[in-house]
Amino acid sequence: MPTRKLLALAILCGLAWSQTALTTIQDTLFTADGSRFNGTVTIQWSTFDATNIGMIVQQSKTVQVVNGNLYVQLVPNAGAQPPANVYTVQYQSGGSQQFTESWTVGVSAQPLTVAEVRIGSVTVSTSSASANAQTPIPESSVVGLVDDLTQRPMKGVAFGTNGVAIVDDSGALETAVGQVGDCVMVDGTTGPCGGIPPTFADNETPGGIVDGSNNTFTLVNIPSGTSLILFRNGLFMTAGSDYTLTASTLLFPPGTIPQPLDVLTAFYRVDPSVAGNIGAITGPASQVHPAAAAQVICSAAGATTRVSTSASLGACDVPIGGLQSGDRIEIRFTLAHTGTASGFDLLVNWGSTAILSRHGGTQDAAVAGRAEAAITLNGAQVSVESWGTILAFLPAIVNSPFQNGLKIDFRADVSTPGSDTITLTNYTVLRYPSH
């Protein structure tokens, strides 16, 4: 065969081989603002065996991308040996690496786009602008991740939800098995919790005759520690001064003996470890401590006066031991003035201390006020507010010395005796105990 024909045949065979051996990746690349990408694409690969070609040695190739145009031909690595071999593609622009992705190139007679060969990408840019643009990374691509995951606790065969987790002998997580209310021991076993929880006796009326002479009353149970809270007609009584408690027996000293129509009410914890206490509860069951509720010391309609000398229109007696440090006393009152011939004066006394003194004019048809007293070891700090139909709003703070038992007294008088009257329409005194 002539030499010229042999050369032409060799060239044709070489072209055919190159066209079938390589796959073309051709695409137009853009940046996030819509402009075309300009930079370089560096493609790296490890040694692998390609079908119909043979061994492809480890190497890299850099392709220039101008005005977004990417064109490169690569040996197909889909189905290559080792099977995990991929092309690692790094994009660089403006002197910094933008991101890295992996390609798996299949056999194709037609050009493929980047999207058709991409299998995963991750941002590795050092610029803050691209720091959040991340895409998933295959677990196998993270060095040591698979080994670390095998060290984490795994679900065991007895794993369940809505229960306490324990670790079995193999390190797997399982769920503790037991009854509701059981305790879980350190070895993972379950059983009844140690001890019997306390119960409560609420709204209990101590046993005994309330006749003014009987000074001994009994409770159904023995209170736990100092948990007893005892009220007489809604007023807190102090242990040691108003009464003494021995086991379940209440003893009242002279001067504090309950009188006819008095009502005693007890609240306490029942210690189940004391013989005879378990199950012996009277009154409605309640876990809510009643001491935070307001107690009405007094609330009533008052009297009327038309004289020019100060007269008591209503009063509220607070007994000895009725005020404890930390208590708060709330006072509210309203007065009505009828007639327009005379002004009037009103006075509110906290025991020996005047906490409010106001003069109302002839046009003041009503006056109202309120006070709050914070009880301390040294006495009381009383904040007072009052106002009237025309009478200006006036706040004040008054300090009162300690008084063991006192009277809250509402007093008034008219400036000129005659047809005008002053009436204490209502007064209320509340106690908020600290215990």
DSSP string, 38-102: -EEEEEEE--EEETTTEEE-SEEEEEEEBTTEEEEEE---TT-BSTT--EEEEEEETTEEEEEEE
pLDDT for the residue 189: 78
Give domain status of residue 34, yes or no.
yes
At which of 117, 141, 165 does a domain end?
141
Summarised one tens digit per residue, pLDDT across range 130-167 is 444 455 677 666 767 777 777 778 887 777 777 788 88
CATH code of the domain in which 332 resides: 2.60.120
Q: Are residues 222 and 132 in the same domain?
A: no
Output b/e per residue, 86-105; b: 16+ Cβ within 10 A: bbebbbebeeebbbbbbbbb
Does the structure show a pLDDT above 90 at 406?
A: no
Give domain status of residue 174, yes or no.
no
Give domain status of residue 182, yes or no.
no
Sole residue written with tokens 């490169």: 72
Average pLDDT over residues 309-323: 83
Q: Are residues 313 and 275 in the same domain?
A: no
Give domain status of residue 190, yes or no.
no
Confidence of residue 349 (pLDDT cuts 50, 70, 90): very high
Compute how many other C-beta atoms are within 10 angstroms of the C-beta atom of residue 409: 19
271 vs 254: CA distance, rounded Å: 30
Question: For the chain, what is the domain count?
Answer: 3
287 vs 192: CA distance, rounded Å: 22
Sole residue written with tokens 């507010």: 385
The strand pairing partners of 175, in sequence order, are 165
Q: Are residues 308 and 369 in the same domain?
A: yes
pLDDT for the residue 131: 41
CB 333 within 8 A of CB 368: yes
Give domain status of residue 391, yes or no.
yes
| Most confident segment among 19-28, 176-185, 222-231 | 222-231
Q: What torsion, rounded to 10 degrees, do the Cα atoms 142, 143, 144, 145 define?
A: 0
Q: What torsion, rounded to 10 degrees, do the Cα atoms 110, 113, 117, 118 define?
A: 180
At which of 97, 123, 141 does a domain end?
141
Q: Are residues 273 and 349 in the same domain?
A: no
CB 228 within 8 A of CB 266: yes
Q: Are residues 32 and 131 in the same domain?
A: yes
Q: Are residues 207 and 272 in the same domain?
A: yes
377 vs 223: CA distance, rounded Å: 27
Summarised one tens digit per residue, pLDDT across range 67-105 is 999 999 999 888 787 776 789 999 998 877 778 899 999
Give domain status of residue 147, yes or no.
no
Lowest mean pLDDT among 7-21, 96-110, 358-372, 381-395: 7-21
Q: What torsion, rounded to 10 degrees, do the Cα atoms 78, 82, 83, 88 define?
A: -70
Q: Are residues 264 and 313 in the same domain?
A: no
List, edge to edge, every strand of the sheet that includes 249-251. 216-218, 249-251, 244-246
Name the E strands within 170-274.
173-175, 183-184, 190-191, 199-204, 216-218, 229-232, 235-237, 244-246, 249-251, 264-270
Compute how many other C-beta atoms are within 10 angstroms of the C-beta atom of residue 311: 16
Q: Are residues 274 and 373 in the same domain?
A: no
pLDDT for the residue 402: 86
Q: Are residues 119 and 100 in the same domain?
A: yes
Q: Are residues 238 and 308 in the same domain?
A: no
Residue 18 has what DSSP assignment? H
Please give the structure tokens belonging to residue 276.
Answer: 């005879």
Confidence of residue 9 (pLDDT cuts 50, 70, 90): very low
Q: Are residues 302 and 284 in the same domain?
A: no
Q: Are residues 274 and 328 in the same domain?
A: no
219 vs 40: CA distance, rounded Å: 93
User: What global pTM score does this model have?
Assistant: 0.37
CATH code of the domain in which 82 resides: 2.60.40.3390
Percent of the chain at pLDDT above 70? 81
pLDDT for the residue 344: 95
At which of 274, 289, 304 does a domain end?
289
Give residue 421's domain range. Answer: 295-432
pLDDT for the residue 435: 54
How many Å is the Cα radius of gyration of the chain? 47
Give domain status of residue 151, yes or no.
no
pLDDT for the residue 325: 82
Give domain status of residue 328, yes or no.
yes
**Average pLDDT of the chain, as a whole number:** 82
Q: Which of 316, 423, 315 is nearest to 360 (CA)?
A: 423
Summarised one tens digit per residue, pLDDT across range 33-80 is 888 999 999 999 988 888 777 888 889 999 999 999 999 999 988 878
